[in-house]
C-alpha cells in the first residue's frame, strides 16, 4: 500500500500502548495489511521522535518533528481536531465515530456533524451511530468493535500452561470462590446499584474489577469484602486475568450513551471463552451467546446459571467462534477495501 497511498495520520488522543482501544487496534491492523501509519502519542519524547513498531507503523513522540510537506490520510476521532484539518495536505479524511455525543460525551456534540461533513468516509461503531450518520453523508460504514482474537484466546488454551503475568493475576484475584470479572473503564455509566445488589446477594462470589477508576465509587462497594478494585492493568495482562475469571460482566446502565455503545470488552470476553452476562444493551442483543439481565434479579440468575452451565468446552468454542469471525483483522480488511476504492476514485476524478 505504501507505494500507492499516502500514510494514515492519527493526531494525539491516546498513547498507543496504554489501553489498546479501537483507534490503536484498527490502525495497527491496517499497518499489517500494508498501510503506512503515523500514530502520534500524547506523551512526547523529543529525544526519540519516532518509534517504529513494524515496517508500516510508526509512533510519533515529537509532534514538532511531524513532516508537514507531504500528503496524509487523516484518521479523525477527536472532534476538536476538525479545526486542524486545513493545516495538513490531505488526500482523504476518515472520521471514526465510536461513541454518541450525549451524556458524558455531550461536550463533543458541537463537532459531531462537522466530523461527518469533512470526511470522505465515516465509520460508525454501532447501529445507533450508523443510523444517525447515514442521512448526512454518502459514504458511511457500520464497523463494529472487535477483539485481537489470538491475544485473548490464549486464556482458554490448555496447551499454554502458564501465561505471561498469570502469577500476578492469580495473586490479585486469589480466591477459591467463583470470580466474576470485569475489565475496562470503571466509569460513571456502570450500574453501581446493580453491582451492590450482586455483591450482597452472592457473598460467596468474588467480584473483580480491572481498569482505571474515573468516577466516585459508592462507599458500600469500596468496603465490600467480596469486591476487588484492581486498578489499571496493562493490556498484555488481560488474558491472565481472564484465566482467573469464571464469568465476565458488562454491568452498564441503560441510557442514551450506552444504547449507542458497542463494548470492546464484549468481543474480548468472547475471545477468551468466558461466559458473559450483560445488561440489555442494543449492541449486545445481537449475540445469542451472551446472557442478558433485564432486571437485577435476572442478572443474578444468569450469573448463577452461567457458573453452572456455560463453562463446558462446547460453549467455550461457540463463543470463541463468534469472536474469531469478528476480529480486528476482519474489521481492518473491510475498511482497507473502502479506503482503496475511495482514494482511487478521488484520484481519478470520479468523486
The superfamily CATH assigns to domain 149-325 is: Glycogen Phosphorylase B; (3.40.50.2000)
- Which cell is 143 given? 464497523
The backbone torsions φ and ψ at residue 248, rounded to the nearest 5 degrees and listed phi first, read -130, 150
| Distance in angstroms (rounded) separating the CA atoms of residues 287 and 271 | 13
| Distance in angstroms (rounded) separating the CA atoms of residues 336 and 73 | 12
CA atoms within 13 A on the CB side of 172: 24
CA atoms within 13 A on the CB side of 216: 3
Nearest to 29 by CA among 143, 139, 185: 143
Decide: helix, strand or coil at residue 22.
helix
- Which cell is 38 given? 503515523
Dmax over Cα atoms in the chain, in whole Å?
Answer: 66
| Distance in angstroms (rounded) separating the CA atoms of residues 282 and 288 | 12
| Distance in angstroms (rounded) separating the CA atoms of residues 1 and 205 | 51
Domain ranges of the chain: 8-146+327-344, 149-325
CB 319 within 8 A of CB 74: no
Cα R_g (the chain), whole angstroms: 21
Question: Is beta strand 290-292 parallel, antiparallel or unpaired with respect to 8-10?
Answer: unpaired
List, as one string, the DSSP characters of 81-123: GGGGGGGSEEEEEEEEE-S-SSGGGGGGHHHHHHHHHT-SEEE
Decide: helix, strand or coil at residue 247.
strand
Q: Which residue has the cell 468474588?
A: 206
Spell out where the chain has E strands: 8-10, 37-40, 50-52, 57-60, 71-76, 89-97, 121-124, 140-142, 179-183, 206-210, 227-231, 247-250, 276-278, 290-292
In this prediction, residue 161 carries a pLDDT of: 84
Identical topology for domains 8-146+327-344 and 149-325 = yes
The backbone torsions φ and ψ at residue 52, rounded to the nearest 5 degrees and listed phi first, read -90, 125
Nearest to 177 by CA among 228, 134, 131: 228
CATH number corresponding to 8-146+327-344: 3.40.50.2000
Here the contacts of 215-219 (C-beta below 8 Å, separation 24 or greater) are: 215/186, 215/187, 215/188, 215/190, 217/186, 217/192, 218/192
pLDDT in 10s for each residue of the chain, 351 residues = 656 899 999 999 999 987 789 999 999 999 999 999 999 999 999 999 999 999 999 999 999 999 999 999 999 999 999 999 999 999 999 999 999 999 999 999 999 999 999 999 999 999 999 999 999 999 999 999 999 999 999 999 988 888 989 999 999 888 788 999 999 999 999 999 999 999 999 999 999 999 999 999 999 999 999 999 999 999 999 999 999 999 999 999 999 999 999 999 999 999 999 999 999 999 999 999 999 999 999 999 999 999 999 999 999 999 999 999 999 999 999 999 999 999 999 888 765
Nearest to 70 by CA among 2, 121, 161: 2
The backbone torsions φ and ψ at residue 227, rounded to the nearest 5 degrees and listed phi first, read -125, 125
In this prediction, residue 29 carries a pLDDT of: 98
| Distance in angstroms (rounded) separating the CA atoms of residues 329 and 147 | 9
Nearest to 247 by CA among 307, 168, 323, 314: 307
Nearest to 217 by CA among 202, 233, 232, 229: 229
Amino acid at each position: 500500500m505504501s507505494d500507492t497511498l499516502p500514510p494514515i495520520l492519527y493526531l494525539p488522543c491516546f498513547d498507543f500502548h496504554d489501553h489498546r482501544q479501537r483507534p490503536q487496534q484498527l490502525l495497527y491492523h491496517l499497518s499489517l495489511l500494508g498501510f503506512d501509519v503515523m500514530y502520534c502519542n500524547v506523551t512526547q519524547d523529543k529525544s526519540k521522535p519516532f518509534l517504529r513498531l513494524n515496517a508500516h507503523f510508526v509512533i510519533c513522540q515529537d509532534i514538532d518533528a511531524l513532516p508537514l510537506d507531504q500528503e496524509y490520510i487523516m484518521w479523525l476521532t477527536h472532534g476538536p481536531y476538525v479545526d486542524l484539518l486545513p493545516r495538513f495536505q490531505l488526500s482523504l479524511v476518515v472520521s471514526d465515530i465510536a461513541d454518541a455525543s450525549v451524556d458524558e460525551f455531550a461536550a463533543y456534540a458541537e463537532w459531531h456533524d462537522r466530523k461527518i461533513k469533512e470526511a470522505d468516509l465515516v465509520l460508525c461503531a454501532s447501529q445507533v451511530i450508523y443510523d444517525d450518520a447515514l442521512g448526512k453523508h454518502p459514504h458511511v460504514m457500520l464497523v463494529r468493535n472487535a477483539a485481537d482474537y489470538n491475544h485473548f484466546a490464549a486464556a482458554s488454551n490448555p496447551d499454554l500452561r502458564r501465561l505471561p503475568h498469570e502469577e500476578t493475576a492469580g495473586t490479585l484475584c486469589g480466591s477459591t470462590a467463583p470470580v466474576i470479572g470485569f475489565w475496562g473503564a470503571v466509569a460513571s455509566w456502570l450500574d453501581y446499584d446493580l453491582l451492590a445488589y450482586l455483591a450482597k446477594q452472592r457473598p460467596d462470589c468474588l467480584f473483580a474489577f480491572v481498569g482505571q477508576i474515573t468516577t466516585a465509587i459508592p462507599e458500600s462497594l469500596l468496603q465490600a469484602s467480596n469486591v476487588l478494585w484492581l486498578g489499571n492493568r496493562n493490556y498484555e495482562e488481560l488474558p491472565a486475568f481472564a484465566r482467573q475469571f469464571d464469568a465476565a460482566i458488562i454491568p452498564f446502565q441503560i441510557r442514551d450513551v450506552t444504547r449507542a455503545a458497542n463494548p470492546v470488552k464484549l468481543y474480548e470476553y468472547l475471545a477468551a471463552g468466558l461466559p458473559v452476562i450483560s445488561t440489555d444493551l442494543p449492541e449486545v442483543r445481537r449475540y445469542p451467546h451472551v446472557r442478558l439481565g433485564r432486571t437485577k434479579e435476572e442478572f443474578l440468575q444468569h450469573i448463577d446459571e452461567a457458573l453452572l452451565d456455560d463453562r463446558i468446552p462446547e460453549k467455550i468454542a461457540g463463543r470463541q467462534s463468534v469472536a474469531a469471525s469478528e476480529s480486528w483483522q476482519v474489521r481492518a480488511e473491510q475498511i482497507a477495501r473502502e479506503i482503496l476504492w475511495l482514494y482511487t476514485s478521488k484520484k481519478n476524478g470520479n468523486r
